[in-house]
Amino acid sequence: MFISTTPDISSAFPAKALRELNGFSYVPVMCMKEMDVPNSLERCIRMMVHVNTQRGQMEIKHVYLEGATHLRSDMTETS
C-alpha cells in the first residue's frame, strides 16, 4: 500500500495509524509526500492499494471523498 500526504500533514505517520487497524499489521506500507504545487488540494491523504483480482478495470470502483473528487472527476459519480 502506498500512502501520500500533502506537505501540510506532518503530525503523525499514516502507516502507524493504518497498522493499528485490525488486519493491517503485516501489510507493506510506503509513505511519501506529495509535491508542493501552489493552489493544490490541501490536507489530502491518498492511498493506493495493490490487489490481485479477476475483475476487469471497469469493474473496480475508485473512491474519492470530499474535495478530492475534483482530482479525478472522470472517475467520480455525481449525485
CA distance 41 to 51: 27
Q: Which residues pair with 3 in a beta bridge?
A: 31, 47
Q: What is the pLDDT along the chain (79 residues), one digit of tens a residue?
A: 999 999 998 888 888 888 888 888 888 899 999 988 888 888 888 888 888 899 998 888 877 777 776 676 666 565 4
Q: What is the pLDDT of residue 43?
A: 87
This prediction has a pTM of: 0.69
